[in-house]
Amino acid sequence: MLRILVFALAALAATGTALSLLTSYRWYIRMWDFPRLGLMVLALIALVLAIPILSGWARAIVVAAMLLVVGWQGFRIYPYTPLAKTEVAQAVINKENCISAFSFNVLQTNRDYQRTIDLIDREDPDILLLLETDEGWEKALKPVIDRYPHRQSAPLPNLYGLIFLSRLPVEDAEITWLIDTETPSVFATISTGAGAKFRYIGLHPRPPQPGEDTAKRDAEIAIAARHAKLTDLPVLAMGDFNDVAWSRTSQMFKRIGGYLDPRIGRGLYATFPANLPGLRWPLDHLFMSPDFTLVQMKVLENVGSDHLPVAATVCLAPRAAKVLNDEPEKPDAADRKDMILSIRDGKKAAIEEGTASGEKAPKP
């Protein structure tokens, strides 16, 4: 019985790791981007059990395979641990240029509105991005919404509604449908208290799941990367990307957009699933151009959603930040090709499904 358990654990860890190496939009392949920590734990358990339980070639093969799995998964996760070097400096530079931002997938079916309202009241962010908001959520949040002078909302019944709020001056906030008519995104030009301008991007594409491959998701992420690349302003990107930080698509997004990730060297900041602390993945993101420093970033408590909220305070200080921060990793030809193909294939998938929006991304 224990032998069967060892083989089952080893097969699952090895198969998931092998599938995660493939380049594909298929949901049953891309889903293996997510549980890297879980696969590494399974491989460690199989490794520890294999040594006393198996023998001969069976033990040698399982031990070797599990060492490879642990090594590979550990390599992918390592940057998101305190053992790695940070790439975003922690510093307060000119408080008038510091911004507090909050992003939360509320879970549309979660009707415990008050817990979310109380959390927002406590955190009191300058910029607020709420996802999966329908008309019920918009109505319940009216006291919060009314406090913010700049508002954009797209209440939807399909798990992809969005509310964007800012107390900071906003020039041209726009909710747009980058690929299809079902998943809105928000783009805005915002000014700090001292008048420094930056671009804000809020995303919530669809996740890989049965019947939903990742072509459209990857296209939305690629368009946002291209937008950041083309704009002359600093950029702050947040949201539930339905993708993990270490995936091929997120790494392409980071390099093409010239972003830094404040989680690198600090921790996973895992947010989903909220009710399984040991098995969470970092689905809710904060990326920034190298013009920002980090004051703090935190994952907040569970208030009834399947996601945990993310709150951060950053300071826009281009000259100082570019000295204190690491240089963004440069994209290569493979990244540029991946971006172009992702946008093309995502648009094609939306057309084939009859959901194409026909819209273009806002001007950088």
- Sheet strand arrangement including 127-131: 150-154, 162-166, 127-131, 98-105, 310-316, 292-299
Give the tokens for residue 27.
């949901």
pLDDT on residue 93: 86
Q: How confident is the model at residue 358 (pLDDT cuts 50, 70, 90)?
A: confident
Q: Which of 260, 270, 266 is nearest to 240 (CA)?
A: 270
Q: What is the DSSP letter of 39?
A: H
Domain boundaries defined on the chain: 2-80, 95-350
What mean pLDDT is predicted for residues 313-319?
95
End-to-end CA distance of the chain: 60
> How are beta strands 127-131 and 185-191 bridged, if at all?
unpaired
- Please say whether the beta carbons of 80 and 247 come within 8 A: no
- Copy the structure tokens of residue 219: 């296209």
Closest CA to 131 of 358, 342, 363, 310: 310
Judged by phi (left if over 0) then psi (alpha if -120 to 50, else beta), residue 342 lies in alpha
Distance CA(76)–CA(38), nearest Å, equals: 13
* Residue 327: predicted pLDDT: 94
Q: pLDDT tens digits, residue range 81-136?
A: 999 999 999 999 889 999 999 999 999 999 999 999 999 999 999 999 999 999 99
What is the number of alpha carbons within 13 Å of residue 44 lying toward its C-beta? 11
Class of domain 95-350: alpha beta
- Exposure b/e, 68-99, CB count within 10 A at least 16 = b: ebbebbeebbebbeeeeebbbbeeebeeebbb
The confidence score (pLDDT) of residue 363 equals 78
Instruction: Give the bridge partners for 203, in sequence order.
Output: 239
Query: CB burial class (10 A; 0-12, 13-18, 19+) of residue 244?
Result: buried
The Cα 145–Cα 147 span in angstroms is 5
